[in-house]
Homo-oligomer: A and B are copies of this chain.
């Protein structure tokens, strides 16, 4: 089996955005791929945290250097979310500080900022904070930013950007979220 080796190894900036299902999921898949290469992985979740999702335990079952930090408190602005804006903002700010610290440590080959695009869109973090994170990325570190409504300036700095578009979603047929797929 042929194994590619880049002549010029470099860390990429990858943005996964859009309103369809599969952004966090894509980031988890990148973690599996990186794990296969023996890379060290750090996942920082900017907005989730109070609803169980299978990836919390799935990541623990991966035999590689992977850590996941859930700083958020659910989705800000979604009906029924009980936390005030300032609490979401503080959590996202903590996540941004953690991201900066982890990136500077050079202890990781892949850093995933999950839902950071929505955090920015909702002004829980500031554009300049995220742009400077991207600009200060060590050259060999892969940085992945997920979440809907990615900012054009973030897209501009990225190497690879995918938009996940919803064609259909089970919940529109009244199907409840199902474990293993939706959470």
Chain A positions within 8 Å of B, measured between CB atoms, are: 1-4, 6-12, 14-18, 20-22, 24-37, 39, 49-64, 109-110, 142, 155, 158-170, 173, 175-181, 183
Chain B's closest residue to A31 (CB) is B32
A-B contact pairs, 21 of them (CB 8 A): A2-B52, A4-B177, A4-B179, A6-B177, A6-B178, A12-B178, A25-B33, A28-B29, A31-B32, A32-B54, A34-B54, A34-B179, A36-B55, A37-B58, A37-B179, A62-B62, A142-B181, A160-B169, A160-B170, A160-B181, A163-B167
Cross-interface CB contact of A29 among B29, B50, B170, cutoff 8 Å: B29
> In the complex where A24-B29, A29-B26, A183-B4 touch, is A167 in contact with B161 (Cβ < 8 A)?
yes
Which B residues touch A166, using CB under 8 A? 161-162
Which B residues touch A31, using CB under 8 A? 29, 32, 58
**Cα separation A26 to B183 with both chains bound (whole Å):** 13
Q: Are A34 and B180 in contact (CB under 8 A)?
A: yes
Q: Are B62 and A61 in contact (CB under 8 A)?
A: yes
Q: How far is the CB of A60 from chain B (nearest CB, A)?
A: 8
Q: Are B4 and A110 in contact (CB under 8 A)?
A: no
Which B residues touch A64, using CB under 8 A? 58, 61
Q: How far is the CB of A151 from chain B (nearest CB, A)?
A: 13
Q: For the complex of A and B, list the 5 residue pairs with the smallest distance between their C-beta atoms, beginning with the closest.
A: A36-B54, A36-B58, A28-B29, A25-B29, A36-B57
